[in-house]
Structure formats: C-alpha cells, structure tokens
A and B are shown apart, each in its own frame.
Chain A
Amino acid sequence: MDTRMRERLAALAEDAPTVLTPPPGLTTRARRRAVFTATAFVVAVGVIVSGGVVGARVLTRGGRVPAAPHPVRPFDGVRGWIVVGGRQLMAVNPANPSDQVQLTTHDGVIDSPLGWSSDGAMLLFKQWAFSNADTAPSDLYVLHADGSEVQLTHDGAITGASFSPDGSQVVYGLTTGNGSSGYASGIYVVPSMGGTPARLSHPGGPVGEPVWSPDGSRIAYVGGTVGDPSIDTVAADGSHGHTLLSLADPGFVDIAGMAWSPDGSTLVFGGMMPDIHTSQLYSMSADGSSPLTQLTHEGSYNVWPSWSPDGTRIAYIAGQNLTTMDPDGSHRDRLTEASPEAGSAWSPFGA
C-alpha cells in the first residue's frame, strides 16, 4: 500500500469522535436529580388530573435514546418484562419486543441491570462512567418505582450484586486497591436503603457475581484465585463456604452472569473462555452434584442469563441481541437488539 493510501486512512480516522460523550460530573448529577424531582412532581400532578398513567415509551435500543420524561411509577407497567442495559436502562416486553419503556435518563454512562427485588419494587443496577475521575469505575444503585435512586457504593468496581429474597439487603462483589498495596476484593452485604456494608468471609482472591438463592439461605459467587476461579457458595451469614465447581476444569477464566432458577434447584451462568470473547451458557444443579449442561451452541458470545419469574424461560444476551430460550436451551427467540455487555434482568410478574 502506498503512502498516499496510508494518509487517506489516517485522514479518514480523524473523522472519528475524539472522546465519548462526557459523563455528568457530580454537579451535573445533582442538577439532573433536582430537575428529575421537579419533573416527577409535575407529571404526577398530571396523572392525578387525568387519572391515567404516563409512560415514556421509546422504541429504540438502550444504546442511544432521545431525551424523554421519566415514567411515573414505571415498574407498574413493566411487570414480567426484561430490563436490558446500555446508555439507559430499557424494559422490553417479551410478548411484544417492540414495546419498550425507558427507565432511566442518564447521560454519558453505561447502566447495567443486576437484578430485581422479589416484589418488583426495586431494581439494582451498576453504572459505568469511564472518563470521569470523580466517579468510581462502577457504582451500585437501587432504582425505585418512583424513579428515585439510592447509591450504595462510591469506590471500586462492582463485580455483581443481587437482592436478598425479602429485599431488605443487597449482596455485592467489590474490587478496590492497586498493584502496590494489593487488591481488596470481597463480597459485602448492605441494607438496600443504604448503610454500612458488612463483609462476608470468603477464601480470598478476586470474587464476583454474588447471587442470593431464592430461599435466602445461600449466596453463590465466583471465588477462587486469579487463574483458578471457581463457583462457590456460602451461607447468608458467611459460614459454611464450599466450592461447587472449579472453572479451570472446563477451561473458563470467568463467568458472565449467573442466576438461580426460581425454585433454587439450578444455577445458569455464562462460561467465559480465556480470550474473553467466547462464552456459552451452562446450567448445573445448585448443589454441584450434576455435570455441566451446555445450553447454547449457536454464536460465540452468549452471556448474562436471567430467569423468568415462573422459571419457564431464560433471557440472555446472544451477541448483541436480547434472546430467550427454554431452560434446556431449546426454542430460542430473538427479541431485540441490546448492548452485549450491559446484562439483563427479568422483572417479577408481581400483583
């Protein structure tokens, strides 16, 4: 290739955006919340007057959405829907995937849904803000039905989280630290309304993806050490930890999402290969007694599983599509486009 062609490529590359849309700083965030609060009040008055429920329906993927008023009590309209992440949290109606509701109005960040409370009144999500030195790599929030948010963490990187079955507590994985002083990577429990976190005991090493069992008795998570990760469980009080599966045996370096079946009998997770670009979904019995069953075979990147409330379907991200399937991997159904990295969370049906 001649020099002129190289120069043309370089010139073309200069048309690329130089930086991503900057995330809001702390001041902007505070202003946004103030605006939101005022907006919510005005809309609420409108609802009372009209006797109806206003919902901002946005028919695009979670990546790039126009500004929209925040829905009033949006969770009422999305029971049994699947929330996907991206530049906004978007709820997708699995029965009619073009029917979508935007749940957040954040700018310049990536929101990843992590899980719902069992009553469908709260949604856990983490927020990535790469280019803002005022924010941690990823912070953990609880989104309430009235649109208010409670920030649970302020430092480090969130490596997964879920509610306790009664919704009163949140378990989360957090990694902080640096190479010189060493990493502090652990599992913590904090009240879902915020408060002082308590650290659960664990064997050490990087940990992540903690998920509370439906009966509340156990927490499954990725434990082990760098290069030798494992799926472990521990009692909710931090006792009786043991390893269910060494991830090194099937050749996984990490998992991309893990979820208990609603009856607590099965764990489904994304097994990530060393290149971190290849992942398939697997299921195993929650006591580790059965061999792994590979659920997905098509495509190279299947991640972030989430069970339907009745346990009859599993939502996940296949490549860049929100997809559902039966628990045995059959009857796949592509619903809509979705960010490949921002996860999925299936809302409880609720009353």
Chain B
Amino acid sequence: MRAEVEEVRLERGVLAELYVRHAPEALRLAYLLTGDAALAEDLVQDAFVRLAGRLLHLRDPGGFHAYLRTTTVNLARSHHRRRAVERRYEERQHEPLPTGGPDVAERERMREAMLGLPLRQRTAVALRYYEDLSEAQTAEIMRCRPTAVRSLVSRGVEHLRRTLGDD
C-alpha cells in the first residue's frame, strides 16, 4: 500500500475524506453481516481506528478500501465468536416485524434469512454477491480456499431461497 500511503495525508481533515469515501460501503457490509445497525457502526468505527493508526505500515497495493473490508469482516467474525450477535438475534426473534409497507417487510424477511445463515455462509454470500468479489478475493479475506467459498455460497444461497420460498 506504499503508493496509497504516499497519497494519504494525515494532517487535519484528510482522514475525514477517507472516512466519507469508504465508511458508507463498510457500514453496509457490516450491516449485512450483523443485521444490526448499531453493531455495524461500532464495527466500522473500530475498523477505522485500527487502520488509521497504521496507515504508514500498510503496504498492500490493494489500498485502504480492501483493508477496511477485511477488517470489517474480521471484526464481525470476532463479534460472532463471542456470541453477542447470537444473543441479539435470539432477542430479535421475539420482536414484531416492522411495519411500513411491503418493501420493509421484504427487507426484514431477507435480514432474518441472512441472520439464519451460519456466519461463514453469510460472509461468503455478502462478499460474493453484494461486494461483487471473485471467489479468489473472497477466499483471501475469509482465509480459506476458493473451493470452500464456492461451497459456502452454494449452501448459503440454497438456504436463502428455501427460507424466502423461492423454490
């Protein structure tokens, strides 16, 4: 990331530009992985703190956005491990569906379907079909082989279709 580091000015206000440019996309990915807006905000804040503190040490030419995406996925995984997500999910099962028309209900069904996936399947689906990453790129972030990504996505999509009644 040497080239981008050279372009990243740490002086007043410039980190804010990085934030404005990359945070919205990171928030959407974090939300797909957690289904929780507040938790997504926390994850992205933490991801920015981790990266901003180490801008001078990032040398991957993939750039800041790639690091941010990977950090967001890693933090979501860590959250999942400590079962906070599961607790929030279980609590949410008892909450009524939001009202506000068919679009809201449809999104809520999709959110619940995503949260019903194991985290690795959810991550693979989000990276492949929301972030539009290749199997190889997804595998690199998830630290697994591309064939594993293919399997995770296949099972994840199968589960989503079944849950959403698409079959």
Expressed in whole angstroms, the minimum distance between the Cβ of B149 and any Cβ of chain A is 13
Chain A minimum-CB-distance residue to B73: A277
Check if B10 sits within 8 Å of A137, measured CB to CB: yes
Expressed in whole angstroms, the minimum distance between the Cβ of A52 and any Cβ of chain B is 34
Expressed in whole angstroms, the minimum distance between the Cβ of B52 and any Cβ of chain A is 6
Q: Which residues of B contact A133 (CB under 8 A)?
A: 12-13, 16-17
Known: A5-B157, A301-B78, A321-B82. A130 touches B31 (CB 8 A): no
Check if B53 sits within 8 Å of A341, measured CB to CB: yes
Interface residue ranges of B23-71 to A (CB < 8 Å): 23-24, 27-32, 37-38, 40-42, 44-46, 48-59, 67, 70-71
Query: Complex Cα distance A310/B12, Å?
Result: 40
Known: A11-B106, A17-B40. A319 touches B28 (CB 8 A): no
Check if A16 sits within 8 Å of B49, measured CB to CB: no
Query: Complex Cα distance A254/B56, Å?
Result: 10
Interface residue ranges of A45-104 to B (CB < 8 Å): 63-64, 87
Q: Which residues of A contact B164 (CB under 8 A)?
A: 8
Q: Does B142 contact A (CB under 8 A)?
A: no
Check if A136 sits within 8 Å of B23, measured CB to CB: no
Q: Does B90 contact A (CB under 8 A)?
A: no
Query: Complex Cα distance A87/B44, Å?
Result: 13
Query: Complex Cα distance A205/B142, Å?
Result: 33
Check if B10 sits within 8 Å of A156, measured CB to CB: yes
Query: Complex Cα distance A12/B109, Å?
Result: 9
Report, as a range, how many residues of chain B touch the other chain: 35 or more
Chain B minimum-CB-distance residue to A128: B49
Chain B minimum-CB-distance residue to A16: B31
Q: Which residues of A contact B31 (CB under 8 A)?
A: 12-13, 15-17
Q: Which residues of A contact B56 (CB under 8 A)?
A: 175, 183, 185, 206, 226
Q: Does B155 contact A (CB under 8 A)?
A: no
Q: Does A42 contact B (CB under 8 A)?
A: no
Query: Complex Cα distance A214/B16, Å?
Result: 37
Check if A276 sits within 8 Å of B57, measured CB to CB: yes
Q: Does A177 contact B (CB under 8 A)?
A: yes
Chain A minimum-CB-distance residue to B114: A12
Check if B9 sits within 8 Å of A16, measured CB to CB: no
Query: Complex Cα distance A206/B157, Å?
Result: 46
**Interface window among A18-26, A164-172, A230-238:** A18-26
Partner of B54, one of A16, A20, A178, A276: A276
Check if B45 sits within 8 Å of A20, measured CB to CB: yes
Check if B19 sits within 8 Å of A12, measured CB to CB: no
Query: Complex Cα distance A272/B56, Å?
Result: 13
Interface residue ranges of A1-50 to B (CB < 8 Å): 1, 4-6, 8-21
In the complex, besides A179-B5, A276-B67, A341-B53, 17 extra interface pairs with C-beta distance below 8 angstroms are A4-B166, A5-B166, A8-B164, A9-B125, A9-B130, A13-B29, A18-B27, A19-B24, A136-B11, A157-B52, A183-B10, A227-B59, A254-B57, A274-B59, A301-B78, A320-B75, A340-B78
Could you list 19 A-B pairs, sorted by A, with CB under 8 Å? Answer: A1-B125, A17-B37, A17-B40, A18-B27, A128-B49, A130-B18, A130-B52, A136-B12, A157-B10, A157-B15, A176-B11, A179-B5, A179-B6, A185-B56, A272-B54, A276-B57, A277-B71, A337-B82, A340-B78
Can you list the 8 inter-chain pairs with the closest CB atoms, starting with the nearest?
Answer: A16-B31, A178-B9, A179-B6, A133-B13, A13-B28, A341-B49, A130-B19, A137-B15
> Which residues in A have some Cβ–Cβ distance to B below 8 Å?
1, 4-6, 8-21, 63-64, 87, 110, 112, 128, 130-138, 154-157, 159, 175-179, 183, 185, 206, 226-227, 229, 253-254, 272, 274-277, 301, 319-321, 337, 339-342
